[in-house]
Chain A
Amino acid sequence: MNNIEEKLWEYIDGACSAKEREAIDLLIAQDETYRQKYLDLLALNREIAAMEMDEPSMAFTYNVMETIRADYAKKPLKAAIDNRIIKAIAGFFVFTIAALLIFVLVNINWSAGHTVVMPALKLPALKVFLSGSVVKGFLFFDVVLLLFLFDGFLRKRRFVKHS
């Protein structure tokens, strides 16, 4: 019986060969049981094909597009920047450095002597900047920065725990 049904479904779906189709045509015309089975399956096929599709809520498209818009707005700047712009900036710098290097190499006087005379360097008096109040201020700034970072770390940990 299953075999008959299988063949009839293939016949209904139009998935059988011309030869098989002819054979089934003949069986439907001559065999009453076969014809009845075919008519039953054909009716079922029509009913399934006529089933209605479900409709989502009215705001469905709006909700999808709003989520996409929000998603796009949340995108980090790094991802939003066109790669071509980054490549153009990188190209500019590479070109400038290369041009500078070529210019320098071309203008070097290679016949000059190999003894290098360094100009005398006059270093600024750093001791002025390392007075007690400056060091204290610097340490205070460091402590505040450390506390700020520690607070951020604790908040992050708490957020991860809760989620």
Chain B
Amino acid sequence: MQSKLSDIELIVQTLSGDQSAYACLVKRHQRFVFTLALRFAKNREDAEEIAQDCFIKAYRSLASFKQESKFSTWLYTIVYTTAMTAMRKKRVDTPSIDDEETHIQIENTSSGYDVNNAENKSRSFYVDQAISQLTPDDATIITLFYKGEQSLEEIAQTLGIEANSVKVKLFRARQRLKEKLERNLKHEVKELI
């Protein structure tokens, strides 16, 4: 029954003390929040910890959600800042989207490769692989745009930058994704030959 309610209706129920309504909100958004956290953490354990932390933070400050934006936009802002803070704490290098020289290339990711597996690999596998090789900023923008159903303005709000900057960053991120995809596919073809 609750699963049919909108985010706002569930928030109202949560604020009136119904914790099961919040559980419903968590279930609804957990996949995307976890995917977004994974763009930063690169391993499932850390990503799950970040995602969990985000939902707890969101619960604590739910009363301050003013409903001026979508709940998802507000939640993704929490995810972005929490993931950035967590990564800074772990001292993992998260280079800026504009800093191409510091860009870390993850090469030779297809170890343990065999021909039968390659035949079974779908294009989506290569897209996932290429996204995981992007910087967290690039991967986040692409994920927010394609999977978060966020407009450029909403992404700008989440990342705390101008909508025009988002447009430029999205263009560059897609270009880099395309390059990675082409490089990975070339690598696979070479191994096949």
Q: Say whether, besides A65-B23, A68-B22, A60 and B34 are in contact (CB < 8 Å).
A: yes
Question: Which stretch of B4-12, B67-75, B173-181 is in the interface?
Answer: B173-181
On whether the beta carbons of B174 and A64 are closer than 8 Å, the reply is: no
Chain B residues near A6 (CB, 8 Å)?
Answer: 171
Q: Is B128 an interface residue (CB 8 A)?
A: yes
Chain A residues near B170 (CB, 8 Å)?
Answer: 9
Chain A residues near B55 (CB, 8 Å)?
Answer: 64
Q: Say whether, besides A48-B146, A51-B131, A56-B48, A61 and B56 are in contact (CB < 8 Å).
A: no
Chain A residues near B52 (CB, 8 Å)?
Answer: 60, 63-64, 67
Q: Is A90 an interface residue (CB 8 A)?
A: no
Q: Is B87 an interface residue (CB 8 A)?
A: no
Residue of B nearest to A55 (CB): B31
On whether the beta carbons of A52 and B128 are closer than 8 Å, the reply is: yes
Chain A residues near B181 (CB, 8 Å)?
Answer: 44
Q: Is B51 an interface residue (CB 8 A)?
A: yes
Q: What 1/0 mask marks residues of chain B from 65 to 87 whose CB sits below 8 Å from any chain A CB? A: 00000000000000000000000
Q: Is B97 an interface residue (CB 8 A)?
A: no
Q: Is A49 an interface residue (CB 8 A)?
A: yes
Chain A residues near B142 (CB, 8 Å)?
Answer: 48
Q: What 1/0 mask marks residues of chain A from 27 to 42 whose CB sits below 8 Å from any chain B CB? A: 0000000000000000
A53's contact among B32, B167, B175, by CB below 8 Å, is which?
A: B32
A143 and B147 CA atoms in complex are apart in Å by 67
A123 and B152 CA atoms in complex are apart in Å by 83
- Chain A's interface size range is 20 to 34
B141 CB to closest chain A CB, in angstroms?
11
Q: Is A50 an interface residue (CB 8 A)?
A: yes
A5 CB to closest chain B CB, in angstroms?
7
On whether the beta carbons of B177 and A48 are closer than 8 Å, the reply is: yes
B residues 22-36 touching A (CB-CB < 8 Å)? 22-23, 26-27, 30-32, 34-35
Chain B residues near A65 (CB, 8 Å)?
Answer: 19, 22-23, 26
A9's contact among B30, B60, B174, by CB below 8 Å, is which?
A: B174
Give residues in B with beta carbon < 8 Å to A: 19, 22-23, 26-27, 30-32, 34-35, 38, 44, 47-48, 51-52, 55-56, 59-60, 123-124, 127-128, 131, 142, 146-147, 152, 167, 170-171, 174-175, 177-178, 181
Known interface pairs A48-B177, A56-B31; 20 further A-B residue pairs with C-beta atoms within 8 A, sorted by A's residue number: A6-B171, A9-B170, A47-B124, A48-B142, A50-B124, A51-B147, A52-B128, A53-B31, A53-B32, A53-B35, A54-B31, A54-B35, A55-B31, A56-B30, A60-B26, A60-B34, A60-B48, A61-B23, A64-B26, A71-B60
- 21 A–B contacts from the bound complex (CB under 8 Å): A2-B175, A5-B175, A6-B171, A15-B167, A47-B127, A48-B127, A48-B142, A51-B131, A53-B34, A53-B147, A54-B47, A56-B31, A60-B26, A60-B30, A60-B48, A64-B52, A64-B56, A65-B22, A65-B23, A67-B52, A68-B56
